[in-house]
Structure formats: structure tokens, C-alpha cells
Structure 1
């Protein structure tokens, strides 16, 4: 398993921590679960007929970036 540091905004950390508590998981396990669900959803959406898998995902921005 790969280990790496992840910086989260405080509000996002609080949301993940709250959801992890409700689901009776560690924060790490909750993040892994949410990533698996999100990636499965993306895979399902790109495989659907008529889906435009060539379109890039929308940018969410980088708080450290000076670009809009």
C-alpha cells in the first residue's frame, strides 16, 4: 500500500470525519470508500451509450493556483 500526505481544507476534513463517524469507519477508510464509489460512478458513466467519454472532467480549481 502506498502512503502519502494529503492536505485537506478544514471544512472538507470536518465533513469527511463526520461521515466516517456515522459510517463507523476511520477517516482513511472513509476516504478510500468515497474514492472507490466515485471512480466506479465515473467508469459507469463513461461506458454508457451516448456518453461523451472524450470530454474532460470539469476543473475544480487549485487554491494555490493563480489561474482562474
Structure 2
């Protein structure tokens, strides 16, 4: 795992924070989710710390991809 510092504009940070709350992820997990989508990486590693950017269930769907 690489430790990487990232500076975000305030408006982008607020948008990520709101999306994380809405999707049930941490801000870190939400950023990882966006990066995986942007790079085409669909596999999510199984992280023991529980912050693996696992997708939240789709709205209107009773199916949850979480184990």
C-alpha cells in the first residue's frame, strides 16, 4: 500500500464527503471507488481494515454486494 498525500479544492472535498455519506463509505473509500472506476479496475482488494471501497447497493435494489 502506498501512502499518498492529496490536496483537494474545498468544493470537491465537500462533494466527496456528501457522496461518501450517501453511499455508506468513508471518504477514503469513496475516493478509492472513484479512482477504480476511472482506471477501469473493477476488482476490489479484500482489505482487512474494512475500507475497501466496496460498492454500496444500487438505489432501488434490494441486492447488496457487501458480504
Q: Trace 1:44-63 onto structure 2 (pairs within 5 A).
A: none
Please, what TM-score do these two structures have when normalized by structure 1? 0.57
The CA RMSD measured in Å over matched residues stands at: 1.4
Unaligned runs of 5+ in 2: 42-67
Aligned residues: 41
Bigger relative contact order, structure 1 or 2, given CA contacts below 8 A and separation 6+? 2
Partner residue in 1 for 2:34: 34
Identify, as 1 or 2, the structure richer in helix: 1
Q: 4+ runs of 1 displaced by more than 2 Å?
A: none
Q: Bigger radius of gyration, 1 or 2?
A: 1
Give the distance between the partners of 1:3 and 1:14, measured in 2 at CA.
22
Please, what TM-score do these two structures have when normalized by structure 2? 0.58
